[in-house]
Structure 1
Amino acid sequence: MSYAVKEMFLTLQGEGVQAGRRAVFVRFAGCNLWSGREQDRASAICRFCDTDFVGVDGLGGGRFAGAAALVSAVEAFWGESRSERFVVLTGGEPMLQVDDALVDALHAADFFIAIESNGTLAAHPRLDWICISPKAGSEVVQRAGDELKLVWPQAGLDPVDLEDWDFRHHLLQPLDDPQADAHREACIAQVLERPRWRLTLQTHKMLGLR
């Protein structure tokens, strides 16, 4: 199988439980909840995405003929050290492309594999860290994993209704839009009221990282 990657880069994980960890981000092209075109945003299921995942023209992006080629590119960004290797597969929606060959090749190269997914497709069973970010109006089939990250508020998604999903960590992340200050206050109030949840912020944006 070939892989379409919008961009790939070395950074620090900016969100969630793994925040602050050195990571290679692999952003796959394509999503099943929005085309990525602004003219389609209003009619999309996910309308607040802040990420460009269209095409393969970003830094480190391209079309990779197979798992070996893609993993070789990931290794080049990480460097020679084989200690604490960490890769984040994101998008778009990475589960449109992640397969056995890629997971096996990354593990063979000693990478701990995290995925950030909308949960509408079942996560690969051999991933090391599963982060699901549900979107209102979608059918989430992956309701178990390591980290449930709810971007909030979203009309039609109440944190209370997600508390019984089988995740080790339940995180609320304020929606980043023109009302961001109010959203942060709302998330803080939710966490103070409902201790099942923890607050997570997009620290990479605060630090000026990709």
Structure 2
Amino acid sequence: MTESGPIATLLGPEGHRDPAYRRSAGRAAPHSEIRIVDADGIEVPTGTVGEIVIRGGHVMLGYWERPEETAEALREGWLHTGDGGRIDADGYLFIADRMKDMIKTGGENVYSIEVENALASHPAVANCAVIGVPDRTWGERVHAVVVLVPGVQASEEELREHVKKSISGYKAPRSIEFVDALPTSGAGKVLKRELRAAHRDALSN
């Protein structure tokens, strides 16, 4: 990330050789310190998902003329990335999701990227995005927005059952919406804020 100058972790040759670590972001670079913390900034146990924070001389001094955002990002010498992840016993960092994209449903945390990966493995799915939308019963429910491969059909139930083959059932989308295309930025990144905005008034409907 730009704020970290931009490198904080490296995946060396030994990590590339080990299939278990090829999906990791590597280990802390020599100039960097990495921790995983909870909402109060307290370091969590090894293997627990929390927010990734970074410290080192490579970290930015702050945002130009944006003191409030600087104070939010830089706390007690640590850069709060807004990314969720975990560090294993060997120091390898695994990214879970953007913290703002985490869905809290029925008291459980669901990481959207995990559901998206499960959905994307279905041959009928060309693209997808998973968000949390308001729900009277669950607080938030897991909602998937799916673009199907042209000329290929798949039902909500078919996709839901497919997802349950690889992840826990409570993480499966409770609702699925089929669209022709997902909103994206100029860089091709899916704009989840636009998807969430479209469902902001769901509780009042």
Question: Which TM-score applies when normalising by structure 2?
Answer: 0.24
Structure with greater strand share of residues: 2
Which of these two proteins has the greater Rg computed from alpha carbons?
Answer: 2
